[in-house]
Each structure stands twice: as structure tokens, then as C-alpha cells.
Amino acid sequence: MEMVTVNEKKIEAKFNETAICLVINEPFALFASVTLQSIIEFSSDKETYDIFICTDKDLSIVTADLLKKQFAGKVNFSIRFITLSDFFDNQEWNNKSLVYPPIVFGRLFLPFILDNYERIIYLDSDIILNTDISAIYTVDLGENCIGAVNDLVMLAWLRDKNNFAYNELINKVKILDTSNYVNSGFLIFNVQKYIDFITPEKILSFEKNHYLKWPDQDLINIVFHDKIFFLGQDFNVLVALRDDKTSV
């Protein structure tokens, strides 16, 4: 298993200018394996896929090896593991919980870690792809730092002043733009624009000095509110929680 840390030399691109990244810990590894399998199922032999699993110190070698075995014999895939523990373990986090451990902020530091790439496609570990992810390689974000999809569930909540999310985001988080709130589960990073716009220190400082209900997601919507390219809903279809048994 190839494991690198954020303090090592620059991470070189294996195939092309796009990296595909998941940020997980041990409890989410099982779900991540489904996401990875969906990438494999819809991949093309004519394309290449440079994948990174970014994790903390708790991901076991056994788990990492099992994830890597999914790509056995697939010469057009590269899978590498990056441990973020050296970076994250030394920070004091203002917004952390059992639901949102500090590792969720890992996605915000990917452009600084993988700065040899032009773009990074970030996927939450509960995403299932139904098309070839290489089709996203050429999406043009223009001068924007991030490509993301509006969170329709959150936007609906924000229209209701009696909803708990309205109080959290408007009165506590003090979100700047309630009409374009995006979901952080699928992101495309325009690496150089992102690095030019912000530093790791500024991200850490913002996190320490602000209350964030949905931590990394709220930060993106506040700090990058005018640096987001809005992707179509087909890039990140959200399945709302429902009580009936017919929902998928």
C-alpha cells in the first residue's frame, strides 16, 4: 500500500491533470468502497483514473489493502493513500463532533496537497456514480475556485423561518447568500485559482473564529460564496430523507 503524508515532497500526477479524491476515516471505509466500485463499473478502458484516499491515522492497513484490491489488474487506475493526521492532529478545532470529526475539513486542503494537478474532483463516500467520471475532467470553472451543486433540501429549509436550519444558518452561522447554498458532497476544485484565493492558515483561522453548523459546507458557502461555479443538479442528485419505505 502506498501511503504518503502531507509533509512529503510534491505528489506527482500519475496519468493526467485531474485527481479524484475521497476523504474518509475507518467508519466510512465500507461506504467509500461502494463509491469506488461505482467509479470502476462506469469507467472506460480508454480513460485513466488517478484516485486518492485521504484519511486520518485510524484507517487500518487491512482496510486500506481491501480498498486497494478493488483495483487489482486495472492498469488504467492509480490509487494512493494520503494521511492527514500529521496536519490535523496538531490543530485545535472549534467545530467538531462525533457526526462531524475534523477529517471533514480535509477536502478544503486538497488543492494545497495536490497542487501538481489542475483540477480535483472530490466525492463524499455516500455518492454512487451512474456515469463515467472522466466526463467531468474537462468541466471549465472559469475564474472560480470551486464547482458545486445547489443543495435543494437546504434551500427549501431556508425558505421556512420556522425550520431549525433557518435559525442555524441565518441567525447563528450568518450565511451570506441563502439563495445559492451548495452541498459539499461533490466538488470540483480549480486548483490554482483556489490556491491564489486562500491559504491553509486563513481556512483554519476562519474555522476557529466562527460557529459552523454543517462545518465544511458552511465554510465553503461563506468564504467562497462569490467564487463558486454552479453545476447542474445532475452532478449531485440529493436523495431527501423520507419516512415512507418506497424511497431509495
Q: What is the pLDDT of residues 176-229, one digit of tens each?
A: 777 899 999 999 999 999 999 999 999 999 999 988 989 999 999 999 999 999
The single-letter DSSP state of residue 129 is -
pTM of the entire predicted model: 0.90
According to the model, what pLDDT value does residue 46 have?
95
45 and 74 in contact (C-beta within 8 Å)?
no
Q: Could you tell me which of 124, 122, 126, 177 has the C-alpha nearest to residue 146? A: 122
pLDDT tens digit string along 133-148? 999 999 999 999 999 9
Q: For residues 35 and 50, what is the distance between their CA atoms, to the nearest angstrom?
A: 15
- 3-state SS assignment for residue 167: helix
State yes or no: pLDDT of 247 exceeds 60.
Answer: no
Q: What is the band of 1 on the pLDDT scale with cuts at 50, 70, 90? A: very low
Cα angle 215, 38, 73; round to 5: 120
Grid cell of 12 as nine digits: 506527482
Q: Which of 236, 180, 181, 241 is nearest to 213 (CA)?
A: 181
Band the pLDDT of 170: cuts 50, 70, 90: confident
Residue ranges with strand state E in 90-225: 119-123, 146-150, 182-190
